[in-house]
Amino acid sequence: MDEKGRTNALQVARSAKSVSAAVFLSRIFGLVREQVLAVLFGASTQMDAFVVAFRIPNLLRDLFAEGALSSAFVTVFTEYEHTKKKEETNRLVNNVFTAIFILLSIICFLGIIFSKELVILMAPEFSQVPGKVMLTTHLTRVMFPFLLLISLSALLMGLLNTRGYFFIPSFASSCFNLGSIIVGGGLALLIPALGYPAIYGMAIGTLAGGALQLLVQAPCLKKEGFKIRPFLDLKDPGLRKIGRLIVPAIVGLSATQINIFVNTNFASRCAEGSVAWLNYAFRLMQFPIGLFGVALSVATLPLVAKQATKGHISQLGDTLISSLTLAFALTMPAAAGLWILSKPIIALIFQHGRFSPFDTLMTAQALRFYAVGLMAYSAVKIIVPVYYALDDTKWPVIASFLSVAMNIVIILFTLERFQHRAIALSTSLTIIFNFLFLSVILYKKMNGYPVLRLVIGCVKIAVSTAVMALAVWWIRDSIPWENTMLGLLLQVFLAVTVGMAVYFACVYATGLKEARQMAEAAIKRLKSYF
């Protein structure tokens, strides 16, 4: 790795460290939120209804909050920061916020009106359970405005990231989970006295959490001198450029949402509780994805946008490889750990209240198949923004729609045999294909990047992961956990602690440069405290 590549790696690692710390807190609170849901509702009809109701506005949220809008806005805003006057940049910010507010308000209004039709479209088998469609419809209407709150929050996050703020915007998602836990959990206990199902409390808590996530970022925005005021100019060139980037990107990302729709539709055809089992399993998957993939993506995006704007393609390639290597170094052992410890982890976190041992088994089966695609999930989070930075949304669109076709075919051939596990397996296989496809195209588009460095790094990571997996497997089979919560806690704690120690010792011994840099930075930070 040359000096520039080393500098890029350190810059990404430093930024990702701040994001990871904030995302770690968010994921912890997220797991607590899921624990609250598991204790109160298990894998019941109410939980199935809540998952589908939340998923409907969340499909659009994924497009805006963590997808096309955020990437397009950061790309154009970065260009304005380096080439335009401050007044023009402020004008762009107000224009984008106003346009998005109006557009999403209309979408939310239409979504509330047609909630029942959306529920029947997404989960037609719910109609076979009396009252399930109506419950899901009511929950959908309550939670639809979440789309507006979370999308505006994503705009703030993108803006603040370009100004060097990473911790607070990423920590904002913790506020969503806190709002859901405190307001949602509290109302879930109180609202039945008013004659409403307890799950309504969690729906209201979702809105409270979305509002908190938006408001907590406002002080940083004010500190940077931005004042959001109503302003709309549809002819503004910056807004139009964002539109040119976002429309094809939404088309491409819509393929991902189609996959989610397809998966939910198929899950509703499986045994009662399948929607909830898959949801609990994927929530656990989101912990390492958010901690590593999203963190590295957020940290990398402003840097690659700047490098693309200046035409520094070779530096962009170094940044990409450094980010991917870091992602694989963190997600490969995480995937192995989730596969081996899936059952004890789920039992420890969720098996309380109405969440039964059978629910633990079914959720663990789904988690194992989801874990197969963990590396690719994180990698796609990193590689797609590079396409946006290069002003190319065509290939992500093609890759996404090929993945949709592949997903449907795999599920159709495996659903009868594997039931809900087929959906998790198909999700992993399609995301792996998506990553490989985009990697090859990007290699040609950039006239090459140091892929050999990535391959060598992956070999070192794989060897270290294999050694770690043997240690974790031995600990899991040596400590009984089925009968006591204490034994379960001891098993998971020892397996994770020993596994991490073995893995980092091995990966450091192999000479992986990114691992050595992270270790040296950690040692330097520890020395500063003494």
Encoded amino acid at 116, one letter: K
Q: Residue 361, Cβ neighbours under 10 Å: how many?
A: 14
Encoded amino acid at 274, one letter: S
Q: Residue 398, Cβ neighbours under 10 Å: how many?
A: 15
Per-residue model confidence (pLDDT) at position 18:
58
Angle of helix 237-267 relative to helix 45-64, nearest 10 degrees, comes to 160
Return the structure tokens found at 231.
Answer: 């302003």
Instruction: Report the residue count for the chain.
Output: 530
Q: Are 44 and 276 in contact (CB under 8 A)?
A: yes
CB contact burial 441-458 (16+ within 10 A = b; e otherwise): bbeebeeebbeebbeebb
Distance CA 295, CA 146 (A): 23
Structure pTM?
A: 0.74
Q: What is the DSSP letter of 124?
A: G
* pLDDT tens per residue across all 530 residues of the chain: 555 555 555 455 555 555 666 667 777 888 889 889 999 998 888 999 999 999 888 877 766 655 567 767 777 877 887 777 878 888 888 888 898 899 889 999 999 999 999 999 988 888 888 899 999 999 999 999 999 998 888 888 878 877 777 777 777 878 888 999 999 999 999 999 988 899 999 999 999 999 998 898 888 887 877 777 888 888 888 888 887 777 766 665 666 677 778 888 898 888 888 989 998 998 888 777 766 655 555 556 566 667 776 777 777 788 788 888 888 888 899 999 999 999 999 998 898 888 999 999 999 999 999 999 999 988 888 888 788 777 777 888 888 889 889 999 999 999 988 999 999 999 999 999 999 999 999 888 888 788 888 899 899 999 999 999 999 999 888 876 666 777 788 888 999 999 999 998 898 888 877 666 666 655 555 455 44
The per-residue pLDDT for range 378-397, each reduced to its tens digit, is 888 888 878 877 777 788 88
Q: Are 261 and 122 in contact (CB under 8 A)?
A: yes
The per-residue pLDDT for range 486-530, each reduced to its tens digit, is 778 888 899 999 999 999 889 888 887 766 666 665 555 545 544
User: How far are the Cα atoms of 5, 244, 520 from residue 9, in angstroms, in the given order?
Assistant: 6, 31, 13
**Helical H runs in 114-236?**
115-122, 132-143, 146-162, 167-179, 185-190, 199-215, 218-223
Per-residue model confidence (pLDDT) at position 339:
95
Q: Show contacts of 504-512: CB within 8 Å, 24+ apart.
A: 506/463, 506/464, 506/467, 506/468, 507/329, 507/460, 507/461, 507/464, 510/460, 510/463, 510/464, 511/460, 512/325, 512/329, 512/457, 512/460, 512/461
Per-residue model confidence (pLDDT) at position 530:
43
Token pair 């450094």: residue = 322
Per-residue model confidence (pLDDT) at position 485:
79
Encoded amino acid at 382, one letter: I
Q: 352 exposed, middle or buried (CB, 10 Å; 0-12, 13-18, 19+)?
A: middle
Residue 62: partners with Cβ closer than 8 Å, 6 or more residues away: 253, 256, 257, 260
